[in-house]
Structure 1
Amino acid sequence: MSNTKHLISIIGPTAIGKTNLAIALSKKYSAPILSSDSRQFYREMCIGTAVPSKEELAAAPHFFIQHKSIQDSYSVGDFEREAMGFLKNHYLSNDIAIMVGGSGLYTDAVCKGLDKFPEVPDQIRNDLNEALINHGLETLTNKLKDLDPKAFEQIAIDNPVRVKRALEVCLASGKPYSSYLNQHKDKRPFKVHYLNITAPRETIYERINLRVDLMIKNGLEEEVRDLLDHKNLNALNTVGYKEFFRYIEGEITLLAAIEEIKKNSRRFAKRQMTWNRKNTEAVAVNYNKALEDSMTFLDKAIPTSKDVDS
């Protein structure tokens, strides 16, 4: 066992093949896979979040997948604490772990640490939730633009979770959310190796469209119908669910809902690619030969016991 601990972080846009690469590396290194996909945390959401299949889950040890209910309060801070606790125990007897997911904020929370924010009273959080339900996201984004123009320009303003979080901090502290970003973070007790799976944009969009078609075939509509009574929960205000809620309630046609899911998934992938391009530590691996490219890098980055002994 080495004194240096390693975390292999697999990033890339949705539908690019992150799970396949994670399983292959898990088998090679006998390492657990930690999911940092915030949409896959919830056990009630399976088809619409592209949770790994039963066969994939059986092929390698997976953690932080469907371990929460949509009715649970679960923040990025909660995830960071739980994931770091898991890794601390794992590294007592092992050197390598794997993290995979398309949620950049959750990945960075573990790999880099979180910015330190003030405590937010429940009343502020509840008021913002009610404002979102009663007045819509645009009301909140306009408020954020007034309170913190810098944050308004930086965060994904079409993501209600991100917008509400920024407003929570602004209202709780009286200071701009952006003023808390990029402060000193605690050093991680492991070395992170980022693998960014890449492909031509046309290929990514084609894979997304095919995945959405498969979700429809596998019963996404039925899954969403079962969750209709909970549609106002934060976890369900996401691609694949919010569009189907509109269809079920008669606002749009089925065809329009499917096209909206594809369009919003492509937009999500574009944001993921933008986020990942900012990571200067990431090594690009081609989606067509992801394992080969990854091993070319990892064989040099992570010494084997034989290398250490020599």
Structure 2
Amino acid sequence: MSGPTISASTPASNPESLPPFLCVFGPTGTGKTEILLRAFAGRAEVISADSMQVYKQLNIGTAKPPPRVLRELPHHLIDTLSLHEAYDAGSFVRQTEQLLPEIAARGKIPIVSGGTGFYIRALLYGLPEAPPSDPEHRQRLEARLAQAGAEPLRKELEQVDPVSAAKINVADHYRLVRALEVYSSSGRPRSSYGVPESIRPGLRAIVVNLNRPRPELYARINARVETMLEAGLAEEVLGLARAGYSTRHAGIRSIGYKEFFDALEEGVLTPESLQSAGVSESTAVKEVVRLIQRNSRHYAKRQMLFFRSIGEAIGIHADDLQSLVRVASSFFSDTDRP
């Protein structure tokens, strides 16, 4: 069950009261779950820093860990909300700060892992002073981004918040939209609000950035989308559509679902085509898959750009099990290991 959404002004727990933990992040398709399972099966519990896996109805398209993984490496903040419920970084931080000591009390290593960079940064650095996300403003801006691209939004941001515009790469769509969202909802430039720039004093965390060379990562992303289709992603989308969900719901606007729903709403796909035996051979479905692959690659690129802002992270190749175990073991041996 989710708790109430908290704003940036809500004080977080005293960082010094939290147990030491491992924080692992990386772009979509990196293989975070795979290496954590190999390294910590039976010895740890994971708090998922994923803004989409929190939704019960989104399974295949969010690449949730399968039951065999959850048995050996329990995960938290997965399947906790319905699609009509809102979730944000404040909720994530509050719930994570409740879970960390509970995991440590069970004698397990607490791990925070995921690809939602803003959640990771909010936990490590603290919540920014800016107002919480406004779904209405964000949806309108994201629609403009999808229709016209980032350049018109960048020009608009230059007019209302030149300081932020100078700092934000035009390819960083999340920060671009967020800066305009803050101005739209508050009337104040994003740059006028304080933004934490370092890990919260007293917080005991070892931070790891799992990575892969870009060609390798993109090949994995392409293959994973194909695997999702084989696992029944089209049928999952059909079930969501028949249940009355649409792109009005935040989760449905995520990559892997939005492309299918857009095609349904535009009449390019029909519900019947998603339940046919040859769904993977459909020309229209193949185009949707291509869009999901492309958008996933673009998202991974934006994630990598965002993760550079977390300067304390140790970069490790996502197949380098030995280095991950060594870094974690060294950290916990120097702290109060759970």
Fold in common (TM above 0.5): yes
- Give the counterpart of 2:120 among 101, 104, 107: 107
Equivalences for residues 10-49 of structure 1 within 5 A = 10-27=24-41, 30-49=43-62
- The SS at the match of 2:316 is strand
1:243 maps to 2:274: no
Retained in 2: the 8 A contact 1:115–1:185? no
1:128–1:164 contact (8 Å) kept in structure 2: no
Deviation at 1:274, TM superposition (A): 1.8
Query: What's the CA shift for 1:177?
Result: 1.4
Stretches (4+) displaced over 6 A: 133-136, 155-158
| Candidates 45, 51, 68, aligned match of 1:55 | 68
1:286 aligns with 2:317: yes
Matched, 1:128 2:137: yes
Could you tell me how far 1:299 is from its partner in structure 2?
2.7
| TM norm structure 1 | 0.82
Q: Deviation of residue 298 (structure 1)? A: 2.3
Contact 2:19 2:100 survives alignment (8 Å): no
* Residue aligned with 1:65, SS: coil
CA separation of 1:254 and 1:92: change in aligned 2, threshold 3 A: closer
Q: Distance in 2 between matches of 1:202 and 1:137?
A: 25
In structure 1, what is the equivalent of residue 333 of structure 2? Answer: 303
Specify the code of the residue in structure 2 equivalent to 1:232.
R
Structure 2 partner of 1:8: 22
Cα distance in 1, alignment partners of residues 50 and 142 from structure 2: 25
> Which one-letter code corresponds to 2:81 in the other structure?
K
How big is the shift at 1:263?
0.7
Using the TM superposition, give the Cα deviation of residue 77 of structure 1 relative to its aligned residue in structure 2, in angstroms. 1.0
Question: How many residue pairs end up in the alignment?
Answer: 298
Tell me how far apart the structure 2 counterparts of residues 301 and 42 of structure 1 sit (CA, whole Å).
Answer: 33
- Alignment match, 2:236: 223
| Corresponding residue for residue 269 of structure 1 | 300
Cα offset, 1:127, TM superposition: 5.3
Residue-by-residue CA offset, 1:257-309 (whole Å, 9 max, x unaligned): 111111111111111222223332222222232x211122223222179x99x
Bigger drift between 241-250 and 197-206 goes to 241-250
Q: Deviations over 1:4-59 (max 9, x none)?
A: 9321111112111100222234336x222000011111111111111111111111
**Residue type of the partner of 1:128?**
H
Displacement of 1:163 in angstroms is 5.9
Alignment of 1:84-95 (within 5 A): 84-91=97-104, 94=107
The one-letter code of the counterpart of 1:272 is Q
Give how far 1:79 is off: 1.2
Preserved CA contact (<8 Å) 1:115 1:184: no
Counterpart CA distance in 2 for 1:18 and 1:85 is 23
Match of 2:8? Answer: none
- Tell me the TM-score normalized by structure 2: 0.76
Task: Kindly indicate whether the alpha-carbon contact (under 8 Å) linking 1:16 and 1:197 is maintained by their aligned counterparts in 2.
Answer: yes
Q: Name the counterpart of 1:203.
A: 216
1:201–1:164 Cα change, 3 Å: closer
CA distance in 1, matches of 2:79, 2:105: 26
1:44-193 matched pairs, under 5 angstroms: 44-91=57-104, 94=107, 96-118=109-131, 125=134, 128=137, 131=140, 141=153, 144-152=157-165, 154=168, 165-183=178-196, 187=200, 189-193=202-206
Give the superposition deviation at 1:175: 1.5
CA contact (8 A) 1:119 1:172 kept: no
Q: Deviations over 1:229-267 (max 9, x none)?
A: 322212211111111112223347222111111111111
How far, CA to CA, are the matches of 2:316 and 2:96 in structure 1?
A: 25
- 8 Å Cα contact 1:133-1:232 kept in structure 2: no
Q: Give distance in 2, aligned partners of 1:65 and 1:294.
A: 24
